[in-house]
């Protein structure tokens, strides 16, 4: 006589984690340290939009304020460690980044690449958005090159950007945009997308560290 045996398959344990609803920690990296740069004008405009949101906690990393050496080292001297200490904790604490970059000779500034290369784990499994400015290209060629760099660092770049073509004529003497409708909408979309990715990745890493 053949007996039918009922077997019970254990259900996999459900993974659960309490959702972290604290504001997203956003680091705005001002990527130019060039004398006479236009970046602070655009940074102030962007910050006025970003700081109006209750879901964001913003830190600024301005490369004009941090003189990082260009000679990289896996064993930096005490002096270099002191310089990095003013920057690295801000990047490490961030849930997401917005990189503000001009376009120099069809690419992005050397100071920005230097900041990126001094760090690795600080970028991992975090979203990166871009605000760019320049001439006819609006800095978009610099952005496309940065996407490849951040992909190598295991970061997730957001498709939606804010770009200013021939930016110098777009802002008035008080730093306001002369026709803000389009760029305001672009900034909101960028921040909406970036916040979604930041929350999704933060929750995912709480369950499974990257």
Tell me if 95 is assigned to some domain.
Answer: yes
Tell me if 16 is assigned to some domain.
Answer: no
Tell me if 10 is assigned to some domain.
Answer: no
Note the pLDDT tens digit of each residue in 13-52: 444 556 778 999 999 999 999 999 999 999 999 999 999 9
Of 72-81, 111-120, 168-177, which gets the smallest average pLDDT? 168-177
User: The domain containing residue 73 runs over which residues?
Assistant: 24-207
Residue-averaged pLDDT of the chain: 91
For residue 121, give the CATH number of its domain.
3.40.50.360
Distances in whole angstroms, Cα of residue 188 to Cα of each of 8, 22, 142, 181, 183: 51, 19, 22, 11, 9
Tell me if 187 is assigned to some domain.
Answer: yes
The rounded percent of the chain whose pLDDT value lies above 70 is: 91
Tokens at residue 152, please? 């190598």
Tell me if 11 is assigned to some domain.
Answer: no
The pLDDT of residue 170 is 85
pTM over cut 0.85: yes
Tell me if 174 is assigned to some domain.
Answer: yes
Tell me if 14 is assigned to some domain.
Answer: no
Task: Name the domain count of the chain.
Answer: 1
Q: How confident is the model at residue 171 (pLDDT cuts 50, 70, 90)?
A: confident
Under 8 Å between Cβ of 65 and 29: no
The SS3 of residue 119 is coil
The SS3 of residue 167 is helix
Tell me if 185 is assigned to some domain.
Answer: yes
């Amino acid at each position: 006589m053949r007996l039918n045996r009922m077997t019970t398959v254990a259900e996999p344990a459900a993974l659960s984690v309490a959702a972290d609803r604290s504001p997203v920690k956003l680091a705005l990296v001002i990527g130019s340290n060039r004398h006479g740069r236009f970046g602070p004008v655009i940074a102030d405009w962007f910050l006025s939009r970003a700081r109006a949101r209750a879901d964001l906690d913003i830190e600024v990393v301005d490369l004009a304020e941090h003189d990082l050496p260009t000679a990289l080292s896996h064993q930096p001297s005490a002096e270099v460690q002191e310089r990095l200490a003013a920057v690295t904790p801000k990047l490490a604490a961030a849930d997401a980044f917005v990189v503000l970059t001009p376009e120099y000779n069809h690419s992005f500034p050397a100071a920005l690449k230097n900041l990126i290369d001094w760090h690795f784990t600080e970028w991992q499994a975090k979203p990166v958005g871009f605000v760019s400015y320049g001439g006819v290209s609006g800095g978009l060629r610099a952005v496309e090159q940065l996407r490849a760099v951040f992909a190598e660092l295991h970061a997730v770049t957001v498709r939606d950007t804010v770009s200013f073509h021939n930016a110098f004529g777009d802002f008035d003497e008080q730093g306001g945009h002369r026709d803000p409708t389009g760029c305001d909408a672009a900034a909101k979309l960028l921040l909406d997308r970036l916040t979604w990715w930041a929350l999704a990745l933060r929750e995912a890493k709480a369950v499974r560290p990257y």
